[in-house]
Chains A and B, each alone.
Chain A
Amino acid sequence: MAGGAAPGGSVQSKTYREARGWLLLPAWVTLGILTLAPLTIMLVYSFLTKEFRGGVIWEFSLDAYDQFFFDRGLFGDEPPRIEWTYIGIFWRSIWQAGAATILSLLIGFPTACFIATRPEKERTLWVFLVTIPYWVNLLIRTVSMKFLLRDEGPLSDGLIAIGAISEPLGIVNTNLAVQLGLFYSYLPFMVLPIYAAVERYNFALSEAAADLYAPRWTVLRRILLPVVKPGIVAGCILVFVPSLGSFLAPDLLGGAKNFMIGSLIEEQFKGNAGNWPFGAAASMILLTLVLILLIASARQSQKRDG
C-alpha cells in the first residue's frame, strides 16, 4: 500500500506465464467466497422486506433506506422529515475515527522517523517492539485501557499524587476515552507504513537542502513530507477505516450510551430490533463512504504520479 512492493514485474519464463492463472486461483477463490459472496448477500438483503424478530421476506423493498433517511415520528404515520438520527450516528463515528487518526499521526510520524534514523541493526528491534502489543487480543487490550483510565486507576491516582489534578480524571465513558482506545488499538498501523516510507528516504536530500540554507521546518515540509506522503496516506487509511466500524472501544470505554456505526449495525442483528435489511442497508452506506474515501485517495496519488 505504501508503494513498498516492486511494481508488477513482467513474467519472463514461459513456465511461469502459463502457471500464472493457476497461481492466482486460490486468491480469487478466497476473495470470491470471503468477500464478494457476503457483500452480495448484504446488498440483496438491504433491498428486502424485514421479517419480524430477524430474517428477511423475499419481497423487494426500499424500507431500509427509507428508514435511514426519513423520520416518520415515533408511530411511523407523520409526514416524512429528514431523519438526523442515523446521519448523526455516522457523523459521530467519523469524528471519533478522525480524532483517533490525527492522534495516531501526531505520535506515529515522529516514532516512525525515529525508528528509520536508527542504525540498521537496531531498526528491526524497534519495529519488533511496536508489534509486541499485537500478540494480545484486542478485547483484552481495550479492557486494560479501561483499567488504566478509570477514576481509581493508576493514571488518575498518579496525577492526583503529583498534584496535577485534584479530582479523579472522569475520562471513562466519554468520547475522549473512545478516541484514546482507538488510537492505542491502531497506532502500529500508522507507524509501520510511515516507517517503510521514511526508511527508503535518502537523508542526503535533507542534508543537501540544509547546505542550501533551508531551515529545518522547510526541509520537513518541502522535502521529507512530499516523499513519504504515500506512507502517511496509507497509515491514515489503515487507522481511520477500522476505527470507523469498531464497536469494542465505544462499548467498553464509551459506556455504549450512544450508538456508533458498528454498534448500530450489531444491534440490528444481535439486539432486540432484529431488522436485518436495515442493518444491511447501514452497512452498504458505510461501505459506500469508505469506497469514496479510497477512490479519492487513489485518484490523488494517480495525479501525483502522473
Chain B
Amino acid sequence: MKTLLKTTVAAAAMALIAGAASAEGKLVIYHWFEYIPQELLDKFSTETGVEVVMDTYDSNESLLASLKAGALGTYDVAVPGDYMVQIMANEGLLDTIAEGELANKGNIAPEWADPSFDPGRASSIPYQWGSTSFAVSRDVYSGDIATTDILFNPPAELSGKINMLDAQGEVLAMAALHMGIPQCSSDRDQLRALNDMLQEAKTHWASFNSDTAKEVLVSGDAAVGQIWDGFAAKGRAEGANIEYAFPTQGYVVWMDNVVLLKDAPNRENAIKFMDFLLEPENIAAVSNFARYNAGLTAVGEFLDPSLAEQPESNPPANAGPGVFIEVCDQATQEVYDQIWTNLKK
C-alpha cells in the first residue's frame, strides 16, 4: 500500500516538503500540544546550531493516521505513548537505534530500560510518564472520590457535570477497570455488559473533550473531568479547587517516548536531540513545565521540589494498580470500536 500511495500527487507534495526540510542543520519534531517548553528547544538550537521545527498533534491515533497518510519521511522524531510505540513498531514506522549511538543511554532509569512496548529500547527513549484518572471539584462534591463510580455511576450532585476525554483508549480502559474485566476481552457477556454500562453512564456525562480537559475544570463548566495527572496539577495551579483521584479499582499509567522515525530526513540531528533529552537537566525542564515524571536516573536534583510533593504524583496507600493501555488484536479491537461508536451515536 505504501508504494502505491507514494505514486499519488499528495505523496509527491509530501516528498517536496520533506525535501525542503532536509536542508542542512534542521530537526523536525512531531509532538503533543502544550508539552515541551520553547526555552528547551531554544537551548538545543543554541548548543548544536540545529534549527528546530515542530508540528503538534492531539492524540496518539491522529499521530498514527498522519504518518500512515504519507507524513513519514517528513519528521525525524515523534512522541507516542506506550501502546502506540508498539503499534508503530508493528506497522514498520520506526527506525532502530544501533547500540552505542546514544552516548547518554545509560541515564535511563533501570525500570524504564526494557519496557514491554519496546524491548531493549530499540527505537525509543523515555520522555515523560504519568497517569490518567480524573479530578473532582471539591467545591461541588466532598465525598469519597477514590472510586471509578464517580465517572460511571456518579452521585446525584455530579450527574450531568462530567467531562470525559474524547479518546477511545482511555475511556474504555477506565471502563474495564471499573467493571474488573480485561482490557482486550473476547468474552461476549463481558463485552455486552461493558456496552450496556457505558450507555447508562453516558446519561450522566456532559461532554467529551480532550483539548479543553483542564479548562472546563478551571472555568467550573465541569465538576468532574477525566484528565492526565499533570493537567490536573496545572489546573490546580490555575486556581481550580480540584482533587485528583486514584481509584481503588485502578487507574491508567502511560509513558510518552521519543521515537526515531523511519526515513527521518535528519537522522543525525534526531540522535543528537535524543541524547540531549537523555541529560537529566534537560528532561527535568520538561517535567517542571508539564508536571509529569521523567524516566531518567539522577534527575532529582534538577526537579522543582514541589513536583515530588504534588498529590497528583503520589498515589495514596489504598490506590488500585496502575495499568498501561493494552494493544488488542484486530478481531477484538473491532468489537471495541463498535462499542465506542454505539457510545457516541
Chain A bound to chain B:
yes
Q: Does A195 touch B at the CB level, under 8 Å? A: no
CB within 8 A of A274: which of B4, B9, B61, B192? B61
Which stretch (A2-10, A117-125, A254-262, A283-291) binds chain B? A254-262
Interface residue B334 (Cβ < 8 Å from any Cβ of A): yes
Q: Determine chain A's interface SS by DSSP, over half rule.
A: loop
Option from A76, A257, A269 in Cβ contact (under 8 Å) with B208: A257
B272 within 8 A of A: no
B335 at interface, CB cutoff 8 A:
yes
How many angstroms from the CA of A159 to the CA of B336 in the assembled complex?
A: 44
Q: Taking the complex as formed, is B181 at the interface, i.e. its CB lies under 8 A from any CB of chain A? A: no
Closest-CB distance, B270 to chain A (whole angstroms)? 24
The answer to whether B345 and A152 touch across the interface, beta carbons within 8 angstroms, is no
Inter-chain residue pair count (beta carbon < 8 A)? 98
- Please report the C-alpha to C-alpha distance between residue A257 and residue B331 in the assembled complex, in whole angstroms: 26
Contact present for B64 and A274 (CB under 8 Å): yes
**Residue among B188, B192, B220, B334 having the largest count of chain A Cβ atoms under 10 Å:** B334
B68 CB-CB contact with A under 8 Å: yes
CB-CB under 8 A for A173 and B1, given A41-B8, A55-B68, A88-B345: no
| Residues of chain A from 37 to 81 with CB closer than 8 A to chain B in the complex | 37-38, 41, 51-58, 74-76
Chain B minimum-CB-distance residue to A33: B9
Q: How far is the CB of A84 from chain B (nearest CB, A)?
A: 9
Which residue on chain A has the smallest CB distance to residue B163? A255
Are the C-beta atoms of A74 and B195 separated by less than 8 Å? yes
Closest approach, in angstroms, between the C-beta of B313 and any C-beta of chain A?
28
Which of the four size classes fits the interface of chain B? 35 or more
Flag the segment in B47-55, B199-207, B299-307 that touches A: B199-207
Asked whether, in the complex, the Cβ of B64 is within 8 Å of the Cβ of A255, the reply is no
Q: Which residue of B lies closest to A170 (CB)?
A: B160
Q: Which of B91, B336, B345 contacts A53 (CB 8 A)?
A: B91
Give Cα A251–Cα B344 distance, bound, in whole angstroms.
Answer: 12
Tell yes or no: A272 within 8 A of B by CB.
yes
Task: Contact check, B344 vs A272: say whether CB atoms are below 8 A apart.
Answer: no
Q: Is the CB of A270 within 8 A of B61?
A: yes
Are A274 and B207 closer than 8 Å at their CB atoms?
no
Question: Bound complex: CA of A221 vs CA of B345, how far in Å?
Answer: 41
Q: What is the interface of chain A, defined by CB distance below 8 A to chain B?
A: 33, 37-38, 41, 51-58, 74-76, 85, 88-89, 150-152, 172-173, 251-252, 255-259, 267, 269-275
What are 22 A-B interface contacts by the 8 Å CB criterion? A41-B8, A53-B68, A74-B335, A75-B191, A150-B221, A172-B221, A251-B209, A252-B209, A255-B206, A255-B207, A256-B209, A256-B344, A257-B202, A257-B206, A258-B344, A267-B344, A272-B61, A272-B168, A272-B337, A273-B168, A274-B61, A275-B337
